A and B are shown apart, each in its own frame.
Chain A
Amino acid sequence: MQKSNLVLSIMLWAVVALFILYPLSFLIIESFKIAETQTYGIKNYLDFFKDPYYLKTFGNTLFLSLLVLIVTTLVGLPLAYIISRYRLKGKVLFTALILLPIVLPAYAGAFALIVLFGKMGVINLLLTDWGIVSKPINFLYGLHGLVFVQSLHLLPFIVLSLSAGFTNIDPSLEEASEVEGANGFKRFFTITLPLATPNYLAGAVLVFLWPFTDWLTPLIFGQVDYLPSISYINIAYHFTDMHRKYMGIVSVVVSAVICVGLFLASKYWVERKKYTSLSKGTTLEGRIIQPGILLKVGSYVYMFLIALLVLLIPIVLGLSAFSRRWVLEPFPTYWTLENFKLIFIETPGLLKNSLLFSGTALLFGIIFGLPAAYLITRTHTPGKEALDFIITLMLAFPGIALGVSYLLAFWEGIPLATHWIIMPLSLFVRRLPYFLRMAHASYLQLDISLEEAAEVSGATKLYTFFTISLPLLLKGVFVGVVMFFIMAFQEISTAIFLYRGGWETLPIGIYLNWHRGMEFGIAGAMAFFMIVIIFILLLIVSKIGGGILGAAWGSSGGRY
C-alpha cells in the first residue's frame, strides 16, 4: 500500500464526510425516529417492508426503470455507433442537439409535450380539425407516455457514454477481427460492444436510477403508485405529520441502497474482465469508417428522426415564448414580445448565477472526481468500494432530501449556507456521480501498464497523471464534464430549497414564473432562453475544445 494513495483516500473521505455523510446523517437519523413515541428504532423500516403498497410502488418503479433502459438502449445503440464510427457531416451539431431535453427541468419539458401531444394539444386539435379522429388520442397519459418522455430525456446518457466507449476502442482490434473474417454484425457484437461495456454501464446506471428520483413526471402523466412520487410528497408535504416524513426518508434510503447495490454488483461482475487497451489507437477520434451510400442515407434518416423528436420541445417553447393564450388552438394566434420584455430584466442575473454556480460546481467536480476515479480503479485502498457506493447513492436521492439536510447541517454550526458557495457545493455533491461514472469508465479502458511505464521511467505520480493518464482519459472525462455541467445547470430541487434572495438560478426563475397566472409563455420564454444559452455554450465549447470535443463525440472533423 502506497502512502500517497492513503493520503489521497483520506482527503477524499474527508470531503465525503463533510459534504455527504454529515448533512445526510440529519436525515438518516430521522428515518429511525418513531413519530408516536419520539424514540428511536427500526420500526419505520419494518413498516416499509410490511406495507405491500411500498413494495408495489417499488416494483412499479423498477419496471419503469427497466423499460426506459431498454428503450434508450435500443434507440441509442445505433445512434452511438453512427456518431462514433461513420464519417458524416453535422455530427457535432446533432450530438449537441440530442442533449437539449436534459437541459430543461423535468416539468418544463413535460409541459411542452402536453402542449403538443395533450388531449387538447396541437396534434389532437389538428387531427380533429381534419376529421381524422372524433375523440382525442391519448398520446401521453399512461405508462407509454411516461416511458416516452423519460426515454427522450435520458437518451443522451446512453448515446454519449456508448459513443465515448466506441471511440475509445483501439481500431486495430476491430480491424484484426475483420481480417479474421468477422462481418459487420459479428464484429459489432463480439468485439465492439463488449469492449464498450464499462462505458455503457456508466450511462446505464444514470438512466436506470433516474426514474427513482423523478417524482413529477409520473404525476404529470396521470400515473400513481410510483415510489419517488410517494417519497417526494411524503418528505416535502409532511407539514405536521412527522411519520409521513420519516417514511418518505425510509423509502428513499431503502430504494437507493437496493438500486445502487444492484448496480455496483453488476459493475464488479463486469470489471472482472479486462477492457483496457495498451496502444490507445492511433487517433483520438477512434476508428472512423466511410459508410456506403445506403448506410449513409439510413444514418441520416435515423439521425433526422431522432433530432425531430428532440427538437419538438424547443420548438414548442419557442412558439410559446413569442405568443400568449396559446390554448385550444393548433398554433398560436396572438404573437407578442411581451414575454421577453417581462423576463429581460430578471434573466441576466439568473444566468449569471446559473453559470457561476454550475461552473464552480464543475471545478469541484473535476478536482474531486478525477482523483476519486483514480482511487477506485487504480488502487487497492481499503474502503474504496464504500466511497464509490456513497457517491453513487446520490443518484437515487431526491433533491429535496439533500436540500433539507444541507440547510439543517450548514445553517447553524458550520454556517456555510449563508454564503453562496453552498449552491455550487450542493450541486457538486448532487451531480458528482455523473462525472465520476464517466471518468471511472475511461480509467477502466486505460491500461495501467502505460502509467507504470511512465513511473518506471522516473516520472512522479502527478506528472504521470498529467502527461499520460489525463490526455488518454480526455474523451471520457470530457463527456463527463459536459454531462456534469448540464445536469448542474438544470438542477432545481436542491437549489430551490437552499437559495437566498439574489441567488436565483435560471431553473428557479422558470419555476417562479410558472406560478404566474396561466401564462405559460413567460416561463416558456425563459426555458427557451435557457435552451438557447446551453446550445450556444455547447457550440462555443466545441469551438474551443476543437479536436478534443470532436474526438469525445467522435466527430469526423477531429484534427488530431
Chain B
Amino acid sequence: MWKKIFLVCMVATLLMLPGEVFAQREKVGWVGPVYKELSDSLMKGFKDFYKRTYGKEIEITFIRPGGWPVCVDKVRAWKGKPDADVFLGAGAPAFEVMDKEGLLVPYKPKDWDQIPAQWGGMKVKDERFIWTCFSPWIVTNLYNERVLRALQLPVPKTWQDLLNPIYRGYIVQTLPYASGTQHEVIEIILQSMGEKEGWAYQRYLAAQLDRFSTGSVDTTHMVSRGEVPIGIAQPQMNAMSARADGYPVRDLLPDKTILVPESVGLLKGAPNEANAKIFLDWLFSIEGQKYVLEGRYFPARKDIRFSALEKEGVAMAKHARDALGVDSFWDLKVGFINYDLDLATKRWDEVNRFYEYEIYRKWRELKSSLALIEEVEGEINTAKRRGRNVASAEAKIQEARRLFAYEGDYASARLTATEARQLLVSSR
C-alpha cells in the first residue's frame, strides 16, 4: 500500500513539474503594490498590444509580495539583480528612497509630455525621469452611507468634523508605517495645522477610533462591510471601485488633502529592459491609459476625457465620472495644502516613530485619559449650571486638556483631571 501511495505521488509529481522551460520567449516582469484589477487589466492590454505590434507573444509576470514597503524590501533583497523590470505603483516617497539606494534608472516614456509636471504645487513626475505618474489620486476618507444613515449620523465633511464625539467608535484607520496613505494623512495634518496642533489632532482622532486596521485594504473592507462606518486614509479610486461593485460607500474629499502620484519606474539591472521600455511607452499611450481606467485606477494623461472614453465603450469611464464629478481627473477642485514633499520624505521615519511611541503604544491610556477629562468637564458644567463657582476647577481641567493634547502626558492629564474634580468637590 505504501508502494501505491508512493507511485501515485511520483506520477503526480512528474505530471506537475512547472512548465518553466519556455524557449527564449519575450518577457517582462512587474513588481509593486497595485491592486489585482489593474495588473489583470494591464496584462490583458499589453499582451494584446505586443502581439499586434511585434507579432509575438509576451509573457508577463507580476508579483506583489505585500504593501509597498514590502515591495521595496523585495527589490532591495535582489541586490541589483532584480527578478522584475518595472516597479509598478506607489507614490513619490517610495521612488525617492529607491532612487537614493540606487535601485532605479531613469527612463523617459514616449508620451511623458502628456503628464502634467505638477498639480496644485505637487510634483506629478520626476524631472530626472526616475519616476512618472501613470495614475493620480487624492488622499480621501471613506464612509458607508447606509450605516451612517442607520446610525442617524451626518456625513463628516472636514477633518475637524471627525473629532465630534458622535463619531466615537465609528472610525477606523491603520498605522502610518503599515500604509503610505495613512502616513500621508498624518503628514497632511502636521503640515496644514502645524506640528503642535497637528499632533494634538492626532491624539484626539486616536481617541475616536474603533480600532487600528491591518492596512488600507483592510480599512476599505471594514467600511464597505459596514463594520466600521468611517475609514481614514483611502486611495480615492477605492470608493469608485466599491461603488462600481454595488457597495454603499462614498469617498470624502476632506477640506485639506494632497495628491498621490501613483507611479512607475525602471529597475536598475532589469533583465528585460527593452520590453520594459516598450511597456512604459505603452502605459502612457492613450491605449495604455484606457487599460489603467479599466483596471479601476484614474488615468494620468491630460488629454483624456471620461465622456469620450465612455462613448468608446470603456465601462469604468462612467463610474469614474460619477465618482469624481468631472470629465478629467485634472479638472477636480481640491482643497490642497502646501505640501512639502522633501520635508515629508526627510522626516518619514521620525513621524512614524512618534506616532508609534506617543499614540499607538499608549492608545488605551490615551482613551481612558480623555474619557476622564470629559467626565470631569461634564461635572464642572453641571456644577456651573447649579450656580457654583467653578473657576479653579475649570482652570485645572483646561490644564489637563493641555497636558493631554500638547504634552501627550496622559498620566499627568488624568492626575490633573482628578485634581480638578477634587477642587470641584471642595468648592461647595
Contacts and interface: CB of A to CB of B under 8 A. Distances in A.
A218 B4 CA distance: 44
Given A328-B147, A411-B77, A517 B349 contact: no
B377 interface: no
Most chain A CB within a 10 A radius of its CB, from B63, B64, B74, B218: B63
Contacts of B201: none
Interface string B116-160: 000000000000000000000000000000110000000000000
Contact of A420 (B18, B69, B225): B18
Contacts of B339: none
Nearest to A342: B40
B81 A412 contact: yes
A327 interface: yes
Interface in A389-424: 400, 403-404, 407-408, 411-412, 418, 420
Place the interface of chain A in its size category. Answer: 35 or more
B315 interface: no
A496 B65 contact: yes
A118 B66 contact: no
Given A237-B67, A501-B29, A224 B360 contact: yes
A517 B296 contact: yes
B225 A500 contact: no
Contact of B242 (A239, A418, A518): A518
A359 B12 contact: yes
Contact of A324 (B79, B210, B212, B245): B245
A177 interface: no
A436 to B, nearest CB: 21
Nearest to A219: B214
Interface residues of B, number: 71
Contacts of B37: 516-517
B16 interface: yes
A502 B18 contact: yes
Given A224-B363, A359-B12, A244 B227 contact: no
Contacts of A353: 18
A205 B35 CA distance: 37
B214 A216 contact: yes
A516 B224 CA distance: 13
Interface stretch (A277-285, A380-388, A507-515): A507-515
Interface in B50-96: 60-67, 69-70, 72-74, 77-79, 81, 83
B29 to A, nearest CB: 6
A515 B353 CA distance: 27
Interface in A495-530: 496-497, 499-503, 512-520
Given A407-B77, A501-B63, A512-B36, A241 B214 contact: no
Given A327-B226, A412-B79, A544-B1, A241 B352 contact: yes
Interface string A209-245: 0000000100110101100000001001111110010
Contact of A222 (B72, B210, B245, B360): B210
Given A359-B13, A518-B242, A325 B247 contact: yes
B211 interface: yes
B18 A514 contact: no
Interface in B233-262: 238, 241-242, 244-249
B147 A220 contact: no
Contacts of B245: 324-325, 517-519
Contacts of A378: none
Nearest to B80: A412
A438 B1 CA distance: 22
B353 A514 contact: no
A114 interface: yes
Most chain B CB within a 10 A radius of its CB, from A107, A239, A325, A512: A239
Contacts of A360: 13
A104 B251 CA distance: 32
Interface string B317-356: 0000000000000000000000000000000110011000
B284 to A, nearest CB: 23
A352 interface: yes
A288 interface: no
B395 interface: no
Contact of A407 (B64, B74, B147): B74
A356 interface: yes
Interface of B: 1, 4-5, 8-9, 12-13, 16-18, 20, 29, 35-37, 60-67, 69-70, 72-74, 77-79, 81, 83, 97, 146-147, 175, 177-178, 210-214, 217-218, 220-221, 224-228, 238, 241-242, 244-249, 296, 348-349, 352-353, 360-361, 363-364
Interface of A: 53, 107, 111, 114-115, 118-120, 141, 216, 219-220, 222, 224-225, 233, 236-241, 244, 324-325, 327-328, 334, 352-353, 355-356, 359-360, 363, 400, 403-404, 407-408, 411-412, 418, 420, 496-497, 499-503, 512-520, 544-546, 548
9 contacts: A216-B214, A220-B218, A241-B177, A325-B246, A355-B16, A404-B73, A515-B217, A517-B244, A518-B245
Closest 10 CB pairs of A and B: A501-B61, A222-B211, A120-B226, A241-B349, A407-B77, A516-B36, A239-B69, A518-B224, A517-B241, A518-B242
